[in-house]
Amino acid sequence: MTQPPLVVRARYEGGCVSDISVTNSRPVVARLLSGCDAEGVPDLVGSLFVPCRNAHMAAASFAISAFRREVANIPDGIWLRLHVELFNETLHRLLISWPEVLGHPRMTETYAHLYRAAARTDMPSLMKQVGTPEVCALYESAPVDGSVFADRIAQLDAPWNLLADLMALEREQPPAGSAADLSFIPDGADAGRDAPGWLEESLCLCPTVPGTRIRPDSPAETGAFSRHSNKPLVLWLRKENLPLSARFACLVLDLHDWLRGLRDPQMDRFSGTVMPLNDEGVGLCRVETQRGALIHAVQLDDQGQVSRYGICAPTEWNFHPRGILRREALRLCGSPDNVEARLRALVLALDPCVEHSVVLEAA
């Protein structure tokens, strides 16, 4: 059996995770772009990435235009395609990935139906199953009574009721110690670093944010949790020491946001989401994808060919060797079955964009 590109190995010792390592062996796509004609880069990038294909194509187009100091030639329908992509990626996690990791059947037929509805922008069908008032009310406000809230969540249809399973799993053996410090990528296209740095392969594969107030040279988390960490329900779940449940709730909140975007897929909804700039002769663009911040950086030679190219994907942020995966995994204690279940849920919550495996090994 072929090993997946991303392997997470945790050591289980004395009832707790004592160490964790991440092996990320996926190919470095940016190397393939050197020497390519700039005009063909967006389509080539789109053919090389399946998850977030439209986001990668948009990032490449905007980064090249930024290098040339030109107004980007925005393809017709790009904002709608980006919103459909955001919606479908989130939907896949909620209907396929999360049920599986929590021991429930995949919701394949429902996913296929809603996938087709999103492609048609069939808002009545989408609202009927995704944007119901009861689901929105429960996920967009803080609970008054925790036990009543858990009962109400459990009575919802799948996948919205999976939050009850996660809460029960975490309450069985709460995470040890204090919650991991929150460290998110700063606003701004360069993610807090001079643009030329993103041409360095070493930084793209192991990214950090320099000069944060939290710690110097800090690995940061990106994705749904960084977008919704201060929402009422998420704040309540964090206070209850339920970090996995908080991240799942953020995914549901994301889906509601993308659904609203499908109604009105305009560029202004992406202000702060697609951010190109030219800095020190480097064209750079940051695009917010379902999984988090995606950065493309480029330099072209005088013939309009790529001389240097860098791509930093959300997976590199969230699975940084010193990042949020390590900090949260080292808080896991309990029986081997409980710890392994929560570790698998943590990896899924941080949402790698490649096939992955999780291994819990006894010391």
List, for residues 23-35, the tens digit of each pLDDT value: 988 889 899 999 9
Question: Is residue 83 situated within a structural domain?
Answer: yes
Which pLDDT band, with edges at 50, 70 and 90, does 271 fall under? very low
Indicate whether 231 pLDDT > 50. Answer: yes
Task: Give the pLDDT score at 281.
Answer: 87
Task: Give the pLDDT score at 341.
Answer: 96
Task: Give the pLDDT score at 112.
Answer: 97
Task: Give the pLDDT score at 148.
Answer: 95
Among 47-56, 141-150, 208-217, the minimum mean pLDDT is found in 208-217
* Whether the Cβ atoms of residue 64 and residue 283 lie closer than 8 Å to each other: yes
193 vs 338, higher pLDDT: 338
Task: Give the pLDDT score at 187.
Answer: 65
Spatial separation of the C-alpha atoms in residues 234 and 163, rounded to whole Å: 12
Task: Give the pLDDT score at 252.
Answer: 97
Which pLDDT band, with edges at 50, 70 and 90, does 307 fall under? very high
Question: Is residue 177 situated within a structural domain?
Answer: yes
Other beta carbons within 10 angstroms of residue 337's beta carbon come to 9
Question: Is residue 362 situated within a structural domain?
Answer: no
Which pLDDT band, with edges at 50, 70 and 90, does 192 fall under? low
Question: Is residue 17 situated within a structural domain?
Answer: no
Question: Is residue 347 situated within a structural domain?
Answer: no
Task: Give the pLDDT score at 269.
Answer: 52
Task: Give the pLDDT score at 79.
Answer: 81
Task: Give the pLDDT score at 217.
Answer: 56
Which CATH number characterizes residue 165's domain? 1.10.645
Which pLDDT band, with edges at 50, 70 and 90, does 155 fall under? very high
What share of the chain in percent tops pLDDT 70?
92
Task: Give the pLDDT score at 304.
Answer: 94
Q: Which of 328, 193, 174, 322 is nearest to 247 (CA)?
A: 328
215 vs 6, higher pLDDT: 6
Which pLDDT band, with edges at 50, 70 and 90, does 131 fall under? confident
The average pLDDT across 187-215 equals 72
Indicate whether 1 pLDDT > 70. Answer: no
Task: Give the pLDDT score at 214.
Answer: 43
Which pLDDT band, with edges at 50, 70 and 90, does 181 fall under? confident
Read off the amino acid at residue 312.
C
Question: Is residue 5 situated within a structural domain?
Answer: no
Q: Which domain holds residue 184?
A: 31-336
Indicate whether 302 pLDDT > 90. Answer: yes
The average pLDDT across 180-203 equals 75
Question: Is residue 94 situated within a structural domain?
Answer: yes
Task: Give the pLDDT score at 140.
Answer: 94
Question: Is residue 149 situated within a structural domain?
Answer: yes
The average pLDDT across 103-111 equals 96
How many independent structural domains does the chain possess?
Answer: 1
Task: Give the pLDDT score at 213.
Answer: 47
Indicate whether 141 pLDDT > 80. Answer: yes
Which pLDDT band, with edges at 50, 70 and 90, does 279 fall under? confident
